Chain A
Amino acid sequence: MLNHIHRFIFFITLITLSLSSHSIEVIEILGGKASQIPIAITPFNEEIRTMGQVTDKKNADLQKMHKVIANDLERSGLFTSLDTSGISTIPDSDILINFSNWSALQAQFLVVGKIITIQNRLITRWSLIDIYKEKTVLSMEFSGSKKQYRGIAHKISDLIYKKLTGSPGVFHTRITFVKKKSEKIYGLYVADYDGFNQRAIVNSSQPILSARWSPDGEKIAYVSFEKKKPVIYVQDLNTGKRVLVANFKGNNSAPAWSPDSKKLAIVLTYSANSQIYIINSDGSGIKQLMRTRSINTEPAWSPDGKEIFFSSDRGGNPQIYKVNVDGVSDVNRVTFEGKSNLSPSLSPDGKLLLFLTQDNGKFRVAVQNLLSNQVLKLTKGPHDESPVFSPNGHMVLFTYKDYGKTTKIGTVSINGLKVTPLRVGSEAIQESSWGPITSN
């Protein structure tokens, strides 16, 4: 009960903070399960035109377009998509909508659409309709090749999301993850944010760790053991070419991009135990951030580029601390609850800390409001890891593992209400990273 109220207050504060600069048509979020916007997304009817004839044969993929949209919005945790399978007549445009029928179904919004296919091309005409206000909110047309149907669906989801929440959608973005196929086969993969369209960008017989997408979207930094010890590469996503940016004596690991993509915070064990350094992202220059007898690792930059958060065992068990990037400053402890706290990262607005907390022996993903220091545990464990924010801060990508089982990957919405797996294969998945919002 108290947990529910905590969640409500936490989430309201979060949404209020992120929506305060946005506009008029924003829906008020009420709290708890009642906060999810009920939306009905009806199947998009396909009309095939071939040389002027209309045929019966429909494309199985295109029949899934509405499901891609429904899955996107559901995954965000802010929407409940209603089951429309029982409805006999599905509208395919915003003309002649029976508002009272949809209202009876408890739908607050309705998405309808139509797909016209001509050989390899498709045209989608769709509308977002407000059932309470009985009016069309958005109405658009997109075209592309049939193969692009998922990308077009994601674009529609982004537009609906932006319109109804005021925040940019992330359904068009991409992620990376490492697949461990066997003891001797590792791959670093790039995929759509929902796990589809995966392709390997690195294949190795040795472990790959800590893949991190640069904020400008151009490069991936990662740790590879191919030289029989951990070293750091930066690989260009467009050309596939890579540069060895750190190969000092000892371990080289934990690359973290500065917000302007120009620098990397890295961890070296040159001086025996793990310490944090800053280098330019091309490998030039080097500056030691600080030095203690303890472990200092897992650096993460604040979005304003002024502070670095990191984990350290200077107090006994690992906790999260922060320090200024420039000049001499005090190191301040940030986490106080829980036996150990690891893997820090910051939300895009800098207000939330995302991390891993050890709670009764279980590793769980948690967020802490950096103003109030209130902590909300988002996942259950027992072996959750590698949490990273989506670029709008509304979802978290993480890996999870049950006792004795293989590691999988999934998302959890920032309100904690929706955990959804990513289906990327049966092999063990570790180390996830989320790419930026792109403007195309």
Chain B
Amino acid sequence: MKKSLLLAMLMATMVVGCSSTDMKESMGLNAPFPELTSQTAELSAAAIDELASNPLLSERSVYFKFNSYNVESQYSDMLAAHAEFISKHNVAVAINGNADFRGSHEYNLSLGQKRSVAVSDSLSGLGIGSNNVETVSYGEENANQECTGSACDQDRRADIVYVGE
């Protein structure tokens, strides 16, 4: 009982002890978006050709069910192709998450983000590290605000966009 209290106090001190400047810098304050870190390469002419000619690479969107952020198995081949491309050329990619208009704008921003992260996690499982991937959400801001029924399906998606395209 006493030991865990001591531990808790110690941890609390550690958290308080971090200066907010350190925290802000490590959180990418005022970093440009998307960040092209020094560890990735720009899209070469050859890479651009490959993007245009490979049918799997021209598929850029993962679609989701309502309120879901589960990446379905039908996207495995497409994601594998992108992972291979990213790894081969060491390029940077942004994954833009989206939601349909139902629910609040802010919650949809978070849901879009979760979808983006889910695709990023899939790529991570295929060996692609965080140096190459940046996640961002547009929530419902790109969605069709007047859709009804299945016409809203296309708004629930994460898009793969190569930096420099």
* Chain A residues with a Cβ under 8 A of chain B: 180, 207, 209-210, 225, 227-230, 244, 247-251, 253-254, 267-270, 272-274, 284-287, 295, 297-298, 311, 317-318, 328, 340, 342-343, 356, 358, 363, 383, 385-386, 401, 403-407, 428, 430-431
Contact = CB atoms under 8 A, between A and B. Distances in A.
Specify the main secondary structure of chain A where it touches its partner: loop
Contacts of B114: 273, 295
A342 B104 contact: yes
Contact of A297 (B27, B31, B110): B110
Interface in B17-57: 20, 23-24, 27-31, 33, 35
B165 interface: no
Given A328-B12, A405-B146, A407-B145, A269 B113 contact: yes
Given A248-B31, A273-B114, 13 more contacts: A180-B145, A209-B106, A209-B139, A249-B134, A254-B106, A274-B110, A274-B113, A286-B27, A318-B107, A343-B104, A356-B104, A363-B103, A404-B147
B64 interface: no
A414 to B, nearest CB: 20
Given A285-B20, A407-B145, A269 B104 contact: no
A-B pairs, 9 with minimum CB distance: A249-B28, A274-B110, A207-B141, A295-B110, A297-B110, A343-B104, A229-B33, A248-B27, A342-B104
Contacts of A407: 145
15 contacts: A209-B106, A225-B141, A247-B31, A249-B27, A250-B136, A253-B106, A254-B106, A274-B109, A274-B113, A295-B107, A295-B114, A298-B104, A343-B104, A343-B106, A404-B147
Contacts of A274: 109-110, 113
B117 interface: yes
B150 interface: no
B28 A270 contact: yes
B105 interface: yes
Interface residues of B, number: 37
Specify the main secondary structure of chain B where it touches its partner: mixed
Contacts of B113: 250-251, 269, 272-274, 295
Contacts of B8: 328
A272 B137 CA distance: 11
Nearest to A403: B148
Contact of A342 (B24, B35, B103, B148): B103
A269 B24 contact: no
A404 B117 CA distance: 30
A227 B67 CA distance: 27
A297 B113 CA distance: 12
Given A225-B138, A267-B106, A318-B107, A286 B12 contact: no
B111 interface: yes
A323 B145 CA distance: 33
Contacts of B148: 403-404
B141 A298 contact: no
Nearest to A431: B105
Contacts of A386: 104-105
